[in-house]
Amino acid sequence: MMLWNRTRKVVTWWVVTFVTGDDWTVAAAVGAGLLATWGLVRAGVPAWWLLPLVMLGATVSSLYRTVLRERG
C-alpha cells in the first residue's frame, strides 16, 4: 500500500512537471496537434505548418485565460 502511494505520488509529480504543467489544455492541444498532423500526412497533405500554428494558438489562449483568472 505504501509502495503504491509513493509510486502514485512520483507518477503524478512527473506528469504535472513534464506534461500537463499549470494548464492541461496546452498538453491537450499538443496531443490534438500531433494527431491532426498525423492524419494530414496519412492523407498526403503537406502538414508541417499545422503544429507551429497550434502551439502558438494554445499559448496565446492559455496566457489570456491566466490573465483573466488574475482579474478574478
Distance CA 72, CA 67 (A): 9
Least distance in angstroms from the C-beta of 7 to other proteins:
16
Residue 27 burial (CB < 10 Å; 0-12/13-18/19+)?
middle
Least separation in angstroms between residue 2's CB and other proteins is: 20
Residue 56 found at the interface with other proteins (CB under 8 A): yes
Q: Tell me: does residue 21 bind other proteins (CB under 8 A).
A: yes
Residue 26 C-alpha cell reads as: 496546452
Select the residue interacting with other proteins from 6, 8, 11, 63 (CB under 8 A): 63
